[in-house]
């Protein structure tokens, strides 16, 4: 199973990973991304404290995901093989139970479509967009055993 690993020491809070995520999920590229369009959302978050400490926050694809437990419509599932926690927006009822249940705040609301939105590790691509667009190499996929979420 692979998980996103962030080396905080390498993160410069440029937010390139966030832009890449927005562009990927809107079928655009970063150069043409309309940053005034509030429907552009990133599944990951780079926060910075007033002391300048960088805090990258990404979905952990938890071993026992609270979001999956909370979803009554079966829109959220965890793949036993890959460990990826995925969202099927077609099944989402927009009740926001998952948003309230994730301790890391890693489920967003797509208020235009009234469905949830989360990281899918770019499973349709060879390399996740955030990893590809990080100039310092702070993000990588690492192999983990079960029980290390
Ligand atoms: S959205 Fe939150 S609860 Fe669900 S897998 Fe990601 S980190 Fe875990
Ligand atoms: S908002 Fe959608 S994905 Fe989240 S719990 Fe409700 S139905 Fe499930």
C-alpha separations of 105 from 31, 81, 89, 113, 117 in Å: 28, 25, 18, 19, 11
Report which of 2, 24, 107 is spatially closest to residue 65, judged by C-alpha positions. 107
Q: Which residues of the chain have pLDDT under 70?
A: 146-149
Task: Say yes or no: 54 and 66 in one domain.
Answer: no
Cα of 42 vs centre of ligand 1, distance in Å, is 15
Cα of 97 vs centre of ligand 2, distance in Å, is 6
pLDDT of residue 36: 86
Which bound ligand lies closest to the C-alpha atom of 67? 1
**Probe residue for ligand 2, chosen from 43, 66, 69, 71 as the CB with the greatest number of ligand atoms within 8 Å:** 71
Q: Is the CB of 116 under 6 A from ligand 2?
A: yes
Task: Say yes or no: 41 and 72 in one domain.
Answer: no
C-alpha separations of 8 from 48, 52, 62, 137, 143 in Å: 11, 12, 20, 11, 18
Task: Say yes or no: 87 and 107 in one domain.
Answer: yes
Range of the domain at 66: 62-118
Task: Say yes or no: 128 and 80 in one domain.
Answer: no
Single pTM value for the model: 0.87
Task: Say yes or no: 2 and 53 in one domain.
Answer: yes
Task: Say yes or no: 69 and 108 in one domain.
Answer: yes
Which bound ligand lies closest to the C-alpha atom of 85? 1
Task: Say yes or no: 89 and 141 in one domain.
Answer: no
Tokens of 8: 């905080």
pLDDT of residue 146: 57
Task: Say yes or no: 128 and 103 in one domain.
Answer: no
pLDDT digits (tens, 9 = 90+) for 33-75: 888 887 788 999 998 888 888 989 999 999 999 999 999 999 9
Cα of 58 vs centre of ligand 1, distance in Å, is 9
**What is the distance between the alpha carbons of residues 132 and 118, in angstroms, rounded to a whole number?**
18
Cα of 65 vs centre of ligand 1, distance in Å, is 5
Number of domains comprising the chain: 2
**Nearest atom within ligand 2 for CA of residue 87:** 3
């Amino acid at each position: 199973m692979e998980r996103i690993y962030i080396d905080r020491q390498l993160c410069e809070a440029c937010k390139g990973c966030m832009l890449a995520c927005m562009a990927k999920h809107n079928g655009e590229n970063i150069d043409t991304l309309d940053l005034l369009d509030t429907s552009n959302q990133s599944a990951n978050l780079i926060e910075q404290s007033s002391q300048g400490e960088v805090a990258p926050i990404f979905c952990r694809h938890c071993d026992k995901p609270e979001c999956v437990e909370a979803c009554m419509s079966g829109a959220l599932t965890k793949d036993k093989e890959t460990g990826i926690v995925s969202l099927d927006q077609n099944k989402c009822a927009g009740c926001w139970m998952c948003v309230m249940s994730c301790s890391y705040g890693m489920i967003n609301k797509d208020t235009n479509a009234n469905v949830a939105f989360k990281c899918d590790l770019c499973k349709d691509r060879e390399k996740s967009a955030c990893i590809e667009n990080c100039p310092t190499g702070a993000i990588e996929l690492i192999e983990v055993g079960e029980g290390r979420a």
